[in-house]
Amino acid sequence: MVAAIAKEIRLRKDYLSDEPLQSIYFGGGTPSLLTATDIEALFAAITDTFQVREDAEITLEANPDDISPLRLREWHYSPINRLSIGIQSFVEADLRYMNRAHSAEEAEQCIQMAQLAGFSNLTEDLIYGTPGLSDKNWEANVYKLIKAGVPHISCYALTVEPKTALAHQVKVGTSPPVDEEQAARQFELLMQWLAGAGYLHYEISNFALPSKMAVHNSNYWRSEPYLGVGPSAHSFNGSSRQWNHANNARYMKTLQTAEHTADLEEQLYEEEQLSAADRYNEYIMTGLRTSWGVELNRIIEPFRSHFLSKTHHYIDDKLLTKNNEKYFLTPQGRLLADKISSELFY
């Protein structure tokens, strides 16, 4: 798999412009299982193919149970300079409910180990709205990260994905459904606590100390082009989207025989050309999620007239606010971000 990904990187050289890469993100699976040799091979493919800025943000996603002093030393001596750790919760009952492999003790220890190994640039994930998660325990989860000095925090409401074990348990009544009132209340509390601790709420689910906003994610929300490699990976070049097939065996077999970029078409990925309406809708969806909002001068007709005709009542209801031709969700509007965005779509 590592050899196939390295080969895809080299074959996709022309997908991006010649601008040096601002960010590299190892995610989407369990990259914390990669050996030092694997990581070295992937970086060799990247640096042989693309220019990389000296100050590039290079992130590795890691599960708490994969983190050890040895692995941390290996990552520290590699180009990786940022870790994204899927904590989810410090409450044992939450972790068992979400079927996480790590324990509450491992969740706490991995942060300390990462910091002792020299990783100060950390982002941690938390989940709220899980059945039985009291506001008191939710507050304790959040303040553990604040106290640890974690500079970037991502928080997501529990969602029950179709065709999962949890979805089946909810359907047959062995697990309670998501309580939307609980999730909304815990999101409002989260905004209060992190604002009080000096974190900027720069995207619906993301909070950062000043100068610690994620470069990679911010570029995504700003609709900057990006290349994704590996099974299921998505790419965007400004006018079209591509997504690789998900089957691992098919992916590796395709890359074994591919010699040119043209050999990847249809065999590796599917592509969708974005219409003007698609690009407008995506801009609304991503822009409203962020603290920099939606800029009216970036919207062309007929989409501008449509947008203006739909925003008045949201401003009247104090769900949207306007400042110098920029539109932003209010704290109350953030609770309804998906609904508001969809109603502004063309």
Q: List the one residue out of 201, 197, 187, 117 whose CA is nearest residue 150.
A: 197
- Report pLDDT for 183: 95
Q: What is the pTM of this model?
A: 0.93
pLDDT tens digits, 14-38: 999 889 999 999 998 789 999 999 9
- Report pLDDT for 119: 97
Mean pLDDT for back-to-back runs of 10 residues, the chain (346 residues): 96 92 91 94 97 97 94 96 96 89 94 96 96 95 98 94 80 84 96 98 97 95 95 95 95 92 86 96 96 96 97 96 96 95 97
- Report pLDDT for 297: 95
Q: Cα 33 vs. chain centroid, distance in angstroms? A: 19
CATH architecture of 18-221: 2-Layer Sandwich (3.30)
Cα–Cα distance for residue pair 120/98, rounded to 1 Å: 28
Q: List the one residue out of 213, 214, 217, 207 whose CA is nearest residue 142.
A: 207
Helix (H) or strand (E) holding 299: none
DSSP 319: S
Token readout for 72 is: 């941390």
3 state SS of 335: coil
Cis before 302? omega within 30: yes
- Report pLDDT for 129: 95
Domain map (residue ranges) of the chain? 18-221, 288-344
